[in-house]
Structure 1
Amino acid sequence: MSRVYTSVDQIDFNISDLPTMPVPSKVLMVKPTYFDVEYVINPHMKGQIGDVDKMQAQNEWNHLAEGFKELGLNVEILEGKEGLPDMVFCANQSLPFIGREGTKKAVMGIMKTTQRKPEVEAIENWFRTQGYEILHLDENKIQTFEGMGDAIWHFKRQLLWGGHGFRSSLNAYEQISDKLEVPVIALPLTDETFYHLDTCMCILNESSALIYPSAFSDEGLEMIRAMFENVITATKYEAEKLLAVNAVCPDGKNVFIQQGSTDVNKKLRDAGFSVHEFSTYEFLKSGGSVFCMKLLYW
């Protein structure tokens, strides 16, 4: 039976009640060999077609990959594919999961745009080499689901936060909840600039999250504030222009974030986090940053 929560009064559990889930120790990254802005499918891409400095993009990608390695994560590199410039954003095509018995599963996405649909098969084929059980949503019932772009695991808990409205359908979470036997807190997104949940919510640890409040409905904000003791907020400029919330905190302590996010970085440091800045300016042109450029898995 699916458990999808859409308002704070429906939430009938505490975080501490939920089964634990290990922190991922591996990172998938897709080489940016074919990365470019070739079309416009989100507001960040407007006016950017053909403007990517590919050498600089490769340098930025290399620096981020080295950062994950220095943090002790095992970085797996997958070749990009010609004709799929956005495959470099490998958080979007799937949702990996590890069960209490150590069983590994991957729910494959249903990309909204025609340009990105072939990416899913490429990532699915890679998951098969990693020993994952592949799960598909019913495309006769589900219109769209863009993986960890919209579906984000609570830190160390079997609880899924699910964004919907622009790239993922609300009813996708009913099937995901059934298939994985986990609760889902569904958050409607209200601003097309923040088209994925990972652009406006970064889960830092079990009790802390970084968000851009204006991207959510009042009901969504209520649920976020009810489940996190410490909610750090980003300014409009840093959230929109620097994609500061598209950060990642793999271990609950170290935050990887776009360079220059001054206000957010101070708030993170004041809250006890170690901040590591990375230049992702070339990838910002396509509407993605640190979180989008990797997939954490087990």
Structure 2
Amino acid sequence: MSTATAPARIAQHRTYLMCRPEHFTVSYSINPWMEPARPTDTAKAVAQWQVLHDAYVALGHEVLLVDPVEGAPDMVYTANGGFVIDGVAYGPKFRFVERAVEEEPFMDWFAANGFRLARPIEVNEGEGDFLLVGDVILAGTGFRSTGDSHREVGELFGREVLSLTLVDPRFYHLDTAIAVLDPVQGPGGVDKANIAYLPGAFDDASRAVLEQRFPDAILVSDEDGDVFGLNSASDGYNVFISPRATGFEAQLRERGYNPVTVDLSELLLGGGGIKCCTLELRRDEAGA
């Protein structure tokens, strides 16, 4: 498909929750990317994060901030702090005790900012493992969120949930292996060209589900997956990606998207990228 024949993409306003990485460091290891012996540069992390924040604002998106908490170095990865649809915020319950300190600050923020808070019973790591595509929730399991949370989130939001099993520990959250490029539902159901994914991150059954439900999805190479190319945010036209994911960048352009490259290499030392730092806040029509 050439850019001349690609569908016209439309940028849609987004509201994001972010957290300035004032306390970012790697002092423990809960994923293969984290090496406490490797030095981290907090000032560099803040500067790179600011570029992402400013890129969202420059393109017309609203960015809200949750205050960083000392002793919570991973709080910058706000995608793990909840899953929000129609003004309802499903709170997090982290697998690892190192991140449990983040749970109440995120849920307090939702309650204080007009969202209807749903406290979780099951282990889940928010939009790290839950991605909304049209009316369907893609839900990851295998390393962090449990399968029981898939049932819980489906009952809470009254939506179909497609459970997908991750098998590569480097891609421990769903948002490291799938990028939702346009979550708006198209005629006759979900627009089947609106996700990209890394096939090798999933088991055979999950790949079969993805192939059946999204036959026109962009299949991303291992090389681009390895640099967190899929840990991306999209407004339906502008897709914020790692500058090192050059193959994925070309694929996006071919499909009519506008790649916006942002380097978060310092935050990758903690196992997070652009999407990890970005929690979408979907309010209901009344603004709640």
- Per the normalisation by structure 2, the TM-score is 0.88
Q: Following TM superposition, by how much is the alpha carbon of 1:50 offset from its aligned partner in structure 2, in angstroms?
A: 5.3
Post-superposition CA distance 1:161-192 (Å, at most 9, x none): 00001001011111111121111000011111
1:271 maps onto 2:259 in alignment? no
Letter in 1 for 2:148: N
Match of residue 222 from structure 1: 208
Cα distance in 2, alignment partners of residues 135 and 77 from structure 1: 20
Cα distance in 1, alignment partners of residues 37 and 243 from structure 2: 23
Identity of aligned residues (%): 29
Change (3 A) 1:97 1:264: same
| Residue number among 194, 200, 206 corresponding to 2:171 in the alignment | 194
Q: Following TM superposition, by how much is the alpha carbon of 1:78 offset from its aligned partner in structure 2, in angstroms?
A: 2.1
Letter in 2 for 1:118: V
Match of residue 199 from structure 2: 213
1:129 maps onto 2:112 in alignment? yes
Classify the secondary structure of the residue corresponding to 1:255.
Answer: strand
Cα distance in 2, alignment partners of residues 220 and 54 from structure 1: 37
Classify the secondary structure of the residue corresponding to 1:214.
Answer: helix
Cα distance in 2, alignment partners of residues 232 and 112 from structure 1: 31
Cα distance in 2, alignment partners of residues 65 and 78 from structure 1: 13
1:152 maps onto 2:131 in alignment? yes
1:87 maps onto 2:75 in alignment? yes
Cα distance in 2, alignment partners of residues 81 and 49 from structure 1: 23
Change (3 A) 1:75 1:292: same
Q: Following TM superposition, by how much is the alpha carbon of 1:146 offset from its aligned partner in structure 2, in angstroms?
A: 0.6
Conservation of the 8 A alpha-carbon contact between 1:165 and 1:189: yes
Cα distance in 2, alignment partners of residues 49 and 114 from structure 1: 20
Cα distance in 1, alignment partners of residues 131 and 88 from structure 2: 15
Match of residue 75 from structure 1: 63
Classify the secondary structure of the residue corresponding to 2:252.
Answer: helix
Classify the secondary structure of the residue corresponding to 1:31.
Answer: coil
Change (3 A) 1:274 1:24: closer
- Per the normalisation by structure 1, the TM-score is 0.85
Cα distance in 1, alignment partners of residues 21 and 38 from structure 2: 15
Cα distance in 1, alignment partners of residues 98 and 232 from structure 2: 25
Letter in 2 for 1:260: R
Conservation of the 8 A alpha-carbon contact between 2:223 and 2:245: no
Q: Following TM superposition, by how much is the alpha carbon of 1:210 offset from its aligned partner in structure 2, in angstroms?
A: 1.2
Cα distance in 1, alignment partners of residues 106 and 119 from structure 2: 13
Q: Following TM superposition, by how much is the alpha carbon of 1:25 offset from its aligned partner in structure 2, in angstroms?
A: 2.7
Classify the secondary structure of the residue corresponding to 2:80.
Answer: coil
Match of residue 16 from structure 1: none
Matches within 5 A, 1:21-36: 25-36=14-25
Post-superposition CA distance 1:80-112 (Å, at most 9, x none): 1110000000000211111xxxxx111111101
Cα distance in 2, alignment partners of residues 255 and 261 from structure 1: 12
Cα distance in 2, alignment partners of residues 137 and 293 from structure 1: 21
Q: Which runs of 5+ in 1 are unaligned?
A: 1-22, 99-103
Letter in 1 for 2:30: I
Q: Report how many residues are paired.
A: 262
Q: Following TM superposition, by how much is the alpha carbon of 1:222 offset from its aligned partner in structure 2, in angstroms?
A: 1.6
1:245 maps onto 2:230 in alignment? yes
